[in-house]
Amino acid sequence: MADKASSDLVIPVPHADSPATNWPKLVCTIAVYCASGMTLTIVNKLAIENFNYPNLLLVMQNSVTVALVLFLNLIPQFRGQVNPLKGDIVKKWIYAVFLFMAMLLSSLMSLRYVTVVTLTVIRNATALVVAAADAAVLGVRISFLTIVSLMGILLGSIVYGSTDINFHALGYFYLFLNVVATSSYQIYVKKLTELRLTAFGMVYYNNVLSIPLFLLLGLIMGEYAGLERILDDIESIDWITIGVSTALGFCLSLSAFMLNLLVTATSLMVINNLNKIAFIVLSEFAYQATLTANSAAGTAIVLISGALYSYVKVVPIDLGAFEHIRYKTLLVAFFALFTGLVYYFFDE
C-alpha cells in the first residue's frame, strides 16, 4: 500500500507514460487521488490520537490493501501483475518488509506528537539521504540542479524546524526514524532488481508479509492486553475514523494505480507537488493553524526545492558549461548561508 501518512509514496505501474485520452475519467481520478491523499493524513492523525493501537490499525489498513491488490489482479487490465509468494524471494525481500514496517509505524507514531504540516515538510529530507546514498553506494552522478534543490530542502527544513511552535522532541525523533527507514527502503529495493517483482508484486509482498509481523509486534507491545475491554472502550466515532482511514487508503491506492495509467511521469510529478501545497493550505485553514511567518517561509523553501528536485529527476536539464561549476564554490555559499540562518534563528 502507499504510505498511509503521505500520498508521496505511490507505487507506479508499468504503463505510467501512457498519454491521457479520457478527460472525464482523468479529472475524476485526479480529484479522488488528491482528495483522499490530503484527507488521509489528517484522518490518520485523528485515528492514532483516538485509537492508541498503531499496529492493530496498520493490520486493518494493510489487510484492505491486500484485498485491493488481489481484486485488481482479477481485472484484465491488471491481470498477471501480482507475483505469487515464493520462498526464495521472501528470504531476500523480508528485509525490505522490515523497513516498510518501520516506515509506516514511525510515520503513524510521529502523528501523535507533530502536526500534519510538520510531517509533510520534514519527510522531504528523505531526498537528501537517498541522493547521498545513491552517490556513495551506487555511484550515481548528482547534477548541479539536484545539489541546489537538496540544499534548499535542507535549509528549508532547518528554518521550519527551528521555528516550529509545536516542536516535540519525541515527534521529531519518530520523523528522523521515518526518514532513515524510507531512505533505506528506497535504496535497498533498488538493489533487488534481479527479483523482477512488479509494482503490484512489491505492494503485495510488503503488505501480506507485514500483517503477521504487525500482529506479533502488537502482541509484544501489549496492544492486545484486555482486548475485550479495548473493544468496549472504543467509541463509535473512533470506529468511524478507523473505517474512513481504511476507506481513504483504499481510494488513494486505487486512484494512484489508475493515475499512473492515465498520465505521464512528468504530469504525476506536477500533481504530487501541487497536492502538497493544497494539503498544507487545507490543513492550516480547515484543520489546525500551526504556521508562523518563519515556519511558512521554511515550508515554502522546502516545497519549491522539492518540486525542483522531482522535476530534475523526471526531466533532466542541460545547463551547458554552467553544469560544471565548481562544487566547492557552491558548498562555501551553502555553509555561509547555513551559518547565517543558524545565527539569525537561534540568536533571537
HEC string for 181-246 = HHHHHHHHHHCCHHHCCCHHHHHHHHHHHHHHHHHHHHHHCCCCCCHHHHHHHCCHHHHHHHHHHH
Number of Cβ within 10 Å of residue 324's Cβ equals 9
Decide if pLDDT at 215 tops 90.
yes
List all residues 6 or more positions away from 137 whose beta carbon is below 8 Å from its beta carbon: 187
Is residue 209 predicted with pLDDT exceeding 90?
Answer: yes
If you average pLDDT over residues 261-283, what whole number do you get?
73
Q: How confident is the model at residue 19 (pLDDT cuts 50, 70, 90)?
A: very low
pLDDT score at 315: 65
SS3 114: coil
- What is the rounded distance in angstroms from the CA atom of residue 1 to the CA atom of residue 23? 26
Torsion of CA 296, 298, 304, 305, to 10 degrees: -170
The percent of residues in the chain predicted with pLDDT above 90, rounded, is 9
> For the segment 36-72, what is each residue's pLDDT rounded down to a tens digit?
887 888 888 888 887 778 898 899 889 988 888 888 8
- Rounded CA gap, 299 and 297, in Å? 5
Residue 334: pLDDT over 70: no
pLDDT of residue 213: 95
Name the pLDDT band for 244 (thresholds 50, 70, 90): confident
> What pLDDT, on a 0 to 100 scale, did the predictor assign at position 320?
55
| Integer angstrom CA distances of residue 176 from 78, 125, 160, 171 | 36, 9, 15, 9
Q: What is the pLDDT of residue 22?
A: 67
pLDDT tens per residue, range 231-243: 666 666 677 888 8
Average pLDDT over residues 8-14: 40
pLDDT tens, position by position, 153-200: 888 887 787 777 677 889 889 999 998 898 888 788 878 877 888 777
Q: What is the mean pLDDT of residues 102-125?
A: 86
Predicted local distance difference test score (pLDDT) of residue 212: 95
Q: Determine the average pLDDT of the residues in 74-103.
A: 88
Residue positions counted in the chain = 348
- Name the grid cell of 323: 553544469
| pTM confidence score | 0.75
Looking at residue 15, the DSSP 8-state letter turns out to be T
What is the pLDDT averaged over residues 101-129? 86
Query: Does residue 149 or residue 216 have the better pLDDT?
Result: 216
Q: What percent of the chain has pLDDT over 70?
A: 74
pLDDT of residue 287: 63
